[in-house]
Structure 1
Amino acid sequence: MIGTKDMKFRFPIVVIDEDFRAENISGSSIRDLAEAIGNEGMEVVGFTSYVDLTSFAQQASRASCFIVSIDDDEFGSGSPEEVAVPIEALRSFILAVRKRNTDIPIFLYGETRTAQHIPNDVLRELHGFIHMFEDTPEFVARHIIREAKKYLSSLAPPFFNALMEYASDSSYSWHCPGHSGGVAFLKSPIGQMFHQFFGENMLRADVCNSVDELGQLLDHTGPVAASEQNAARIFNSDHLFFVTNGTSTSNKIVWHSTVAPGDIVVVDRNCHKSILHSIIMTGAIPVFLMPTRNHYGIIGPIPKSEFTMESIREKIEANPFARKAKNKKPRILTITQSTYDGILYNVEQIKEILGSNIDTLHFDEAWLPHATFHDFYKNMHAIGTDRPRSDDTLVFATQSTHKLLAGLSQASQILVQNGNNRKLDTHRFNESYLMHSSTSPQYSIIASCDVAAAMMEAPGGTALVEESLLEALDFRRAMRKVDAEFGDDDWWFQVWGPKDIAEEGIGEREDWVIREDDDWHDFGNIESGFNMLDPIKATIITPGLNLKGDFDEFGIPAAIVSKYLAEHGIIIEKTGLYSFFIMFTIGITKGRWNSMVTELQQFKDDYDQNLPLWRVLPEFVSKHKQYERIGLRDLCTQIHDMYKKYDVAKITTDMYLSKIEPAMTPADAWAKMAHREIERVSIDEIEGRITAMLVTPYPPGIPLMVPGERFNSTIISYLKFARDFNSALPGFETDVHGLVKDTVNGVEGYYIDVVKE
């Protein structure tokens, strides 16, 4: 055990020696060393197998040191021929460790063999060579412990280190929060339960910004500033700012530092709602770039032609508010990079096309913080090392470290790349940062931003991303293997993506580049090579719908599969009509994705047998008794037929691609809502009316309409489908934010809040 003052952590010294438990001289000597290490307060864990030495490399994240014997029988008598294979095993072990961790101490020890038996490329990776019997076990133990402690003391990044020091210092708390380091919870039974659940360290570390030694998030001083600078270096950016209330807030900070009322802004039509909130708050005039879309509901890329200044100027002139603006130069461009479904843009091509024609380029990379750490994503993310700079354009990237890295929920960060002639004014930028940041930030979230960045320090970050890619590819290969075994006469789930992928390993990046003539995406007329699919984003397609939007004779709606998986302990990220989405973050393991494959096989068995819902979905049935005696296949058929009746795949595609007329600026429409100059109108009577609210269908959770736009017949058709579907199939309701089930003037129905005429 080792600790920061009184805070203890378990990082044992790992010994790998076949004789660790043997009753011989070699075993006795290594146990004497282990005992001496234990007497100094450090834990020792011993392994006795060399069957797969590289598997022990996985212990590198849990250990403080490795001690590896080279005297075991497997290393032969010492002749070059006999030691060749074991030396290769040792080399593989060291390379596997160093691939993730360049600093953890590795010691070799022997009684009969010395450094002369070890090749130089192995020797240079070592922290020492122990020749037994030349020193006492106690002396050798202290030498090893010194190196282990030196290594452990270097692990914690600046803010997390300062927070641990503060929490372990046993200072009395006279500042907020009112629980005073957790003491308040100890005065109540339910408080005791809360304290025991979360633990004292978390509560002691929950402090306010009056603790000077921790620095200030709001003005970026002290350990906080040191950690932000450290993270900027790791993420290859000029500046980096931690944000404790999500990338929704990061986006608003960037916008409020750049955009003012009346500015023209160029925005991805399928952007996150926080961008639309930013448009409302800043009083900007939006001009939208329209992404492609297929009938699976997967949002494709914005065609490259949309990014030309000629196309953008045409959009400005077509917008009744933008064409009257005094300044026609767009203030900011914001695109979603990557999309929810994993579509990436070649950022360098976008920079080259737009040059300095737009004041600020903003890439919402909530789902892409991992990309800078692997060459697989070269040029497919906003900011990185050795990237060209625009002369006068700032580049921002906003990232959710809690989504694909190891941050706590709401952990986010803002990255900045300066232009050649224009640098970020950090003091002015911080005024926007203060506008949107809490004066009582959660210090555990700050620490997780700090640690999430430190975890991605090379080479560990590269290894973690590569592992995610490998697991994602192995999952895809496993799903294809199952499909092949079932054969053409049976059904199985498909994983959306390129047909040709490597038989093993990651394969070539070119395998994932999207081309116009590919037959797997159906994004239409797009330029080959401008986009790529991120393999770690996996969309699983259920039977029932083809890529052209045509319904099959039978179908398995994804909503049922998601409920089934949830009752078996597997929670899905996003569910569409006939697809659901999972991510291979750095926390996904073989055990998790293999469990997914086996549960999908179990679903297939239950579906094929048409087992009753009370058996396969007991929790769901307990809330919805009307489904108790319905078979799983029968329910799938019922929902599938409803989807087919309304041709819902084409409706949902058409509504997102339909022409929506802007009748007011979003800010003016919002003002109508704030002043209560709105009315709640039935969806049967809203055609041509102006929405006062965001209208956001789930799935996919992408806003369809922003305040100030007029309802058209295509959108109304979808809203009527949602009404009818919700009435027919309770428990599977289609959720549309902005669509309200209410009773108005004695009439129950579905309503939208629109601007009064």
Structure 2
Amino acid sequence: MNLNTGTAGPDSTSLSRHRSVWDVRSESWIGLVDVLSQLAKLAQDDPGREERLTKVGALTEALRPIEACWAYPGRRAFAELCSHIDRGNLAHAAIIARRFHRTLASLTYRHEGTGAKNDADLPSQIESEQEYQAQLRCPYFEVLVVDDMLVEEEEALHRQVRNERRPDDDFVYDVVVVPTFEDALVASWVNFNLQAVVIRYGFPYRSLYFRELVGRRYIDGAEVDGELLPESERGPLLGRQIAKLRPELDLYLVTDVNVEDVAAKAGETFNRIFFGEEDKLELNHSIMQGVAERYHTPFFDALCKYAKQPTGVFHALPLARGKSIMNSNWIGDLGQFYGMNLFMAETSATSGGLDSLLEPTGSLKLAQEYAARAFGSRRTFLVTNGTSTANKVVVQAIVRPDDIVLVDRNCHKSHHYGMVLAGAQVTYLEAYPLHEYSMYGAVPIRHIKETLLDLRRAGTLNRVRMVLLTNCTFDGIVYNVERLMLECLAIKPDLVFLWDEAWFAFARFHPVYRPRTAMGAAAKLTEMFKSEAYAKRYAEFASSFDEAAWADDEKVLNTRLLPDPGKARIRVYATHSTHKTLTALRQGSMIHVWDQDFKDKAEEAFHEAYMTHTSTSPNYQILATLDVGRRQVEMEGYELVQRQLELAMNLRDQVAANPQLNSHFRFLTVTDMVPEEFRESHVESLYNMETGWENLLKAWQSDEFALDPSRATLAIGLTGMDGDTIKNKYLMDKYDIQINKTSRNTVLFMTNIGTTRSTIAYLLGVLVKIARDVDNRVRDMSTPELRIHEKRVRSLTLELPPLPNFSCFHQAFRGRSLDGQSETRDGDVRSAFFLSYEDANCEYLTMDDTAKAIRNARECVSAQFVIPYPPGFPILVPGQVISAEILQFMQALDVREIHGFRPELGFRIFTEAALELAGQANAVWKAQVNASAEAAEGE
């Protein structure tokens, strides 16, 4: 993030172009090397000398506080560089600066021989395969030490750390020493090499290096003011703050007060607490062990070991151990392409040697426990059939027939099919529409509250089981998860939440994203409901919001509701397509659970659902990559996600600044994607040249919906081509750029942890070529052709068809109210879905015939899901009435792919006779349910 160093240095204008401290650091080193190299060649009386010296001073002052946050080159080595500059040894300073920059750029400081603290010891770059392998064998990390120590003491600490290194160590680390509370927070924010923090003794509070501290926002709202605390008590507070900022870091406290008392009060925050200097060696061992625990990949390690074992294969996998490939005269190229380790590691749980996914007791059980730790859940389950399967597992485990489930209509189709399988009564929720871009946003909290109140009024709130929402959406709309769950639990305290976070697995590993994840919010609410502060807050709310207020729907809708902490239960599930945003093979997914009632109310059902949908022959290679992918994000996820975010912002800026590009393309901003009514912050752009990332932080902390900056939605309507054409004609077929989401006039580019600056540059070059091609075609158009082109542009920018809302279920499939007579919004998708299996119950109507039937007052009811791609959400579900608005939207679509609709035949709808029979069956069912309810009340 953008940190204002608060020191003398480059003016605010020159620094404002940098998006983050990492950007400042990189660009400053490049500039320093360049200017020092120029100065080394200039004569003393050269007229340009003073200007360059001034620039060197500005660059060193910009770097000075930043380098204080890193072990390499470190504060002392950087000070030595500055002393050479001050003494006029500019040629030597240029050599040192170049070596520092080369080592930083190539990351060779991470390899085993690192320890250079002066220019004589500097490594240049890895020069041999042996050194490269050493780096892989012995990963490097840094440890933050918070202590206001003397220079001599700091040097002694560095020597001690280097002297304690052993050739057989699994890791090598160096230390960064900062003297104050605020400096520690900044270093934790800035330094992605950190894996552990050691907080020692007493230390001052205010920063020595950063006068204006962005990190202070993580102090605001703390239980106490750290500046007012005695120095000896700041350590536990600092530990809690760093745990919020970087929960993956190991924390150690070294104290000189009553260590037993401190351990009892702060033991949950710290991995271990030490008294004074009595266990220096033990602290070192603890640091190494803590990193080793996160580095350990139990299942991947077991699979590697198994692949090296001699075995005799007498089970149903001919390619196991590669035998069917090695012994073949015709498929040896398969082994050459994939490598034999893939097949050497192929086996079955029934053959022994490895754990079973269905009944894990060994390495897979450990892998799932480690994943739960990494993703902040209470339980995590690995899935090898993709998130479509993960979604069905959760739905089947929680939802019973006749339960009402509130579902975002625009969610992934696996949820709709899950509702069919579970026999749920579905109440579809409407996301706010973005008509001008042919896409939907997310479901407003007010609409969810309205739906719950409607169900309460109908007497069916007790049957509401779950709310199912997508977070974040394909296009990057992210919910305020905490607020939404708070308000819903105030109305229905036992509500279960399923958050489809298929595209949001990375979010756990960045402090801005984390609070809006399902697991992050669940953990916070759990702690909140146990606190005295929330009990007081709720008591004040309850005293001002009496029964009369609860009976006033409008007042309920206009009030920020708070649930009773004595009644509300935190029951939250999240599904991750780990393979989509983190390192894993296709179909590698996870289910994360934070359910206070899991043991009592869900465990057995979940186990059965998992058994139902999980293959008895899971792919072990997928499981291994899930294990390794977890290790990666625990060790370096923060760095990778931050880089992903910055590359996306750079892509936006480059398009906005290029005249040839911005005449045809425009990346949508938060004002395009999130209407003003959902932006309490009133933020209009996430990044500002003057304030850096302040807007992003403000929006993500307060707004009902936030926009994920790593999703870059490009408006393309001015080219006269729709999203499908741009995707197929140019991006994929001509330039091999892979995307998977378009709308009529947008293309979505998603950065991920594997995105590089080179791929961004390639995309920009391709967009320039597309823009040039459009310009050339327009110049060559005749007058009639130009009119056609302009009409096409208008249709893609000004005349888009309005997105239709969900119409309603036909009365034959609608739910029941408490009296068993009146109808509610929920519908029985399952009955409609299976009714269509009998061809005699269905007929086809073309677009024109459907329009005519609607005009003649016939209710045309869809017999199946109809899903246009794009936009990719169901326009119709089984049992839904086809409205004139839906038909108008379908007629205006010009996409090639519409699942469930056959252009030569039209819509598959139910016959009127079938609907009559279904209605009679529904009436009987409602009567039976009503009789059962009356009997239960009588008892």
Do both proteins adopt the same fold according to a TM-score greater than 0.5, normalized to the shorter chain? Answer: yes
Equivalent residues of 1:695, 1:705 under 8 A apart: yes
**1:216 is paired with a residue of what secondary structure?**
coil
2:649: which partner in 1? 473
1:411: which partner in 2? 588
Q: CA deviation at 1:704?
A: 1.6
Q: 1:105 to 1:381 in 2, by over 3 A?
A: closer
1:666: which partner in 2? 829
1:601 paired with 2:768, answer yes
1:710 paired with 2:877, answer no
**1:739 is paired with a residue of what secondary structure?**
coil
Q: Distance in 2 between matches of 1:699 and 1:706?
A: 17
1:430 paired with 2:430, answer no
Q: Aligned match of 2:707 in 525, 529, 533?
A: 533
1:565 paired with 2:714, answer no
Q: CA deviation at 1:631?
A: 7.7
Q: 1:509 to 1:632 in 2, by over 3 A?
A: farther
1:388: which partner in 2? 525
Q: Which moved more, 1:373-382 or 1:275-284?
A: 373-382
Q: Distance in 1 between matches of 2:882 and 2:113?
A: 66
Q: Which moved more, 1:436-445 or 1:148-157?
A: 148-157
Q: CA deviation at 1:225?
A: 0.5
Q: Which moved more, 1:59-68 or 1:703-712?
A: 59-68
Query: 5+ unaligned residues in a row in structure 2: which ranges?
Result: 1-94, 126-134, 143-149, 173-287, 527-564, 671-683, 814-827, 913-939
Letter of the structure 2 residue corresponding to residue 454 of structure 1: R
Letter of the structure 1 residue corresponding to residue 162 of structure 2: G
Q: 1:121 to 1:756 in 2, by over 3 A?
A: farther
Equivalent residues of 2:384, 2:618 under 8 A apart: yes
1:606-647 C-alpha deviation (Å, 9 max, x unpaired): 2111299xxxxxxxxxxxxxxxxx989999985774585699
Letter of the structure 2 residue corresponding to residue 711 of structure 1: I
Q: Distance in 1 between matches of 2:308 and 2:104?
A: 31
Equivalent residues of 2:377, 2:594 under 8 A apart: yes
Q: 1:411 to 1:512 in 2, by over 3 A?
A: farther
**1:257 is paired with a residue of what secondary structure?**
helix
Letter of the structure 2 residue corresponding to residue 695 of structure 1: V
Q: CA deviation at 1:354?
A: 1.6
Equivalent residues of 1:557, 1:639 under 8 A apart: no
1:242-273 C-alpha deviation (Å, 9 max, x unpaired): 01011111110001001111111111121111
2:870: which partner in 1? 699
More helix by share: 2
1:507: which partner in 2? 693
**1:708 is paired with a residue of what secondary structure?**
coil
Q: 1:508 to 1:387 in 2, by over 3 A?
A: same
Q: Aligned match of 2:900 in 725, 738, 749?
A: 738
Equivalent residues of 1:339, 1:367 under 8 A apart: yes
Q: Which moved more, 1:190-199 or 1:268-277?
A: 190-199
1:120: which partner in 2? 154
1:304-358 C-alpha deviation (Å, 9 max, x unpaired): 21132x53231676xxxxx596x74311110111111000111110121122534
Q: 1:361 to 1:275 in 2, by over 3 A?
A: same
1:137: which partner in 2? none
1:144: which partner in 2? 167
Q: 1:415 to 1:261 in 2, by over 3 A?
A: same
Q: Distance in 1 between matches of 2:159 and 2:726?
A: 49
1:74-119 C-alpha deviation (Å, 9 max, x unpaired): 98xxxxxxxxxx9xx99xxxxxxxxx99983489xxxxxxxx9988
Letter of the structure 1 residue corresponding to residue 909 of structure 2: V
Letter of the structure 2 residue corresponding to residue 476 of structure 1: R
1:67 paired with 2:114, answer yes
1:104 paired with 2:115, answer no
1:494: which partner in 2? 667
Q: Distance in 2 between matches of 1:102 and 1:197?
A: 26
Q: Aligned match of 2:843 in 679, 699, 703?
A: 679
Equivalent residues of 2:322, 2:340 under 8 A apart: yes
Q: Which moved more, 1:601-610 or 1:277-286?
A: 601-610
Equivalent residues of 2:407, 2:427 under 8 A apart: yes
Equivalent residues of 1:364, 1:397 under 8 A apart: yes
Equivalent residues of 2:112, 2:138 under 8 A apart: no
Q: 1:735 to 1:378 in 2, by over 3 A?
A: same
1:638-681 C-alpha deviation (Å, 9 max, x unpaired): 57745856999642x332x2534444221111111233332333
Q: 1:557 to 1:646 in 2, by over 3 A?
A: closer
Q: Distance in 2 between matches of 1:753 and 1:486?
A: 44
Structure 1-normalised TM-score?
0.72
Equivalent residues of 1:690, 1:754 under 8 A apart: yes
Q: 1:125 to 1:225 in 2, by over 3 A?
A: farther
Q: 1:453 to 1:559 in 2, by over 3 A?
A: same
1:339 paired with 2:476, answer no
1:440-469 C-alpha deviation (Å, 9 max, x unpaired): 1001111111111111115x1111111111
1:622: which partner in 2? none
Letter of the structure 2 residue corresponding to residue 191 of structure 1: I
Q: CA deviation at 1:382?
A: 0.6
Equivalent residues of 2:505, 2:581 under 8 A apart: yes
Equivalent residues of 1:238, 1:417 under 8 A apart: yes
2:338: which partner in 1? 198
1:654: which partner in 2? 803
Q: Aligned match of 1:159 in 279, 283, 299?
A: 299
Q: 1:54 to 1:708 in 2, by over 3 A?
A: farther
Equivalent residues of 1:472, 1:536 under 8 A apart: yes
1:53 paired with 2:110, answer no
Q: CA deviation at 1:301?
A: 2.3
Equivalent residues of 2:862, 2:907 under 8 A apart: yes
Q: CA deviation at 1:477?
A: 1.8
Q: CA deviation at 1:182?
A: 2.2
Letter of the structure 1 residue corresponding to residue 847 of structure 2: I
Letter of the structure 1 residue corresponding to residue 525 of structure 2: P
Equivalent residues of 2:778, 2:786 under 8 A apart: no
Equivalent residues of 2:664, 2:716 under 8 A apart: no
Q: 1:680 to 1:181 in 2, by over 3 A?
A: farther
Q: 1:212 to 1:174 in 2, by over 3 A?
A: same
1:400-445 C-alpha deviation (Å, 9 max, x unpaired): 1011111111111011112389766434311110011011100111
Q: Distance in 2 between matches of 1:218 and 1:597?
A: 46
Query: 5+ unaligned residues in a row in structure 1: which ranges?
Result: 1-47, 76-85, 91-99, 108-115, 131-139, 318-322, 516-527, 545-553, 613-629, 726-732, 742-748
1:357 paired with 2:485, answer no
Equivalent residues of 2:661, 2:768 under 8 A apart: no
Q: CA deviation at 1:575?
A: 1.6
Q: Aligned match of 2:391 in 251, 266, 274?
A: 251
Q: CA deviation at 1:173?
A: 2.2
- How many pairs does the alignment contain? 603
Equivalent residues of 1:239, 1:416 under 8 A apart: yes
1:397: which partner in 2? 574
Q: 1:637 to 1:283 in 2, by over 3 A?
A: farther
Q: Aligned match of 1:591 in 758, 769, 772?
A: 758
Q: CA deviation at 1:302?
A: 1.4
Q: Distance in 1 between matches of 2:642 and 2:138?
A: 20
Q: 1:70 to 1:311 in 2, by over 3 A?
A: closer
